[in-house]
Amino acid sequence: MIKKVLDFVADIKSRSGFYSVEDNLEEKLNYTERQFSFSAEETKEDFLYKWGREITDEDLKWLRISNLELDWELTLDNIYLYGGFDNWGFSDSLVSPAQPDYKSIACQHKYFSEEEERFLKEETNLFCKSAHGMGDGTYGIFHRTKDKYPFDILYLDNGRFFKTDFSLESYYQAMIDSMAVCGWQYFYLDFEEIKSKCADFKVGYWLLYPYSEGLIESPLGRDVTHDTSRLDAVVHHMEVCVYLLPKIFPNKDFSYHKQRLEDFKMFLSQ
């Protein structure tokens, strides 16, 4: 999977038509075995000290793409879309306290209850952040506990977090299958949880941009404003993805995403 992620970044870089692609692929390709061994040994010691158990070699391999970044954006059919990811250091994700950046954006949010805020501060840490700035507040996070390992993975989106069935392998495979488009995680979440957590919750910034400020008209006949529920905005964004992704990446199969959108809309109509 490490090679798949690196090949995915290289694939995005090789494509024409994007007006912005930023990455640090070369740095990760030059990551030496000596660097890996040093980091792996430190992580093993820290993990054992913090959690009282041995970290698996399966988890240690993710150190090879710590801090790997990809950022792509384009406009097609007068619709703006972007994607990418920003990996945290996996050693930090597994053994360090929550990072200041994570605390400032993910916690102390006016919509979190005190218990949710405590949970995020004390029991979680991020391992992957959405790219491009507008992804602020959207993360893949570990629920870290001594009672269960490997750790469960949650998705956090600006004041709401969701359970997932992802392992690290399946998280990155789904990201690749979705071309790391912003908000791709919604195609893999439980429908009932999306509805219950988003119906009465206002749109997040990444869903609003760039349809505000008069930049472009909202595509596909929907208006997205600050007063739009996040549920309506998520459906709208999924429609944009299903419409645009096959045009942007014609050699990729997005039948899964199309079917999930159809199933979600049918679920909401019941």
Instruction: Return d(Cα 203, Cα 220) in angstroms, integer.
Output: 17
**Tens digit of pLDDT for each residue in 9-58?**
999 999 988 888 999 999 999 999 999 999 999 999 999 999 999 999 99
pLDDT of residue 115: 87
pLDDT of residue 138: 82
pTM above 0.85, yes or no: yes
Position 62 pLDDT exceeds 90: yes
**Tens digit of pLDDT for each residue in 111-120?**
778 888 888 8
Instruction: Return d(Cα 162, Cα 155) in angstroms, integer.
Output: 5
**Tens digit of pLDDT for each residue in 226-259?**
777 889 888 988 988 999 999 999 999 999 999 9
- Average pLDDT in the chain: 86
Q: pLDDT tier at 67 (50, 70, 90 boundaries)?
A: very high
What value does the CA radius of gyration of the chain take, rounded to a whole number of Å? Answer: 19
pLDDT of residue 213: 42
Instruction: Establish how many alpha carbons lie within 13 A of residue 142's alpha carbon, considering only the half-sphere containing its beta carbon.
Output: 25
More confident residue, 157 or 269: 269
DSSP assignment of 44-65 equals: HHHHHHHHSSPPPHHHHGGGGG
pLDDT of residue 20: 86
Position 133 pLDDT exceeds 60: no
**Tens digit of pLDDT for each residue in 185-237?**
999 999 999 999 998 887 665 565 555 444 445 455 456 777 778 898 889 88
Q: pLDDT tier at 166 (50, 70, 90 boundaries)?
A: very high
Report the percent of the chain where pLDDT is more than 70.
Answer: 84
Reading across the β-sheet that carries 138-145, which strands appear in turn? 20-23, 69-76, 79-87, 124-130, 138-145, 148-157, 160-163
Instruction: Return d(Cα 159, Cα 183) in angstroms, integer.
Output: 14
- Give the residue ranges of DSSP H helices in the chain: 2-14, 25-29, 33-51, 57-60, 90-95, 100-106, 114-123, 168-177, 191-198, 205-208, 230-248, 255-269
pLDDT of residue 216: 46
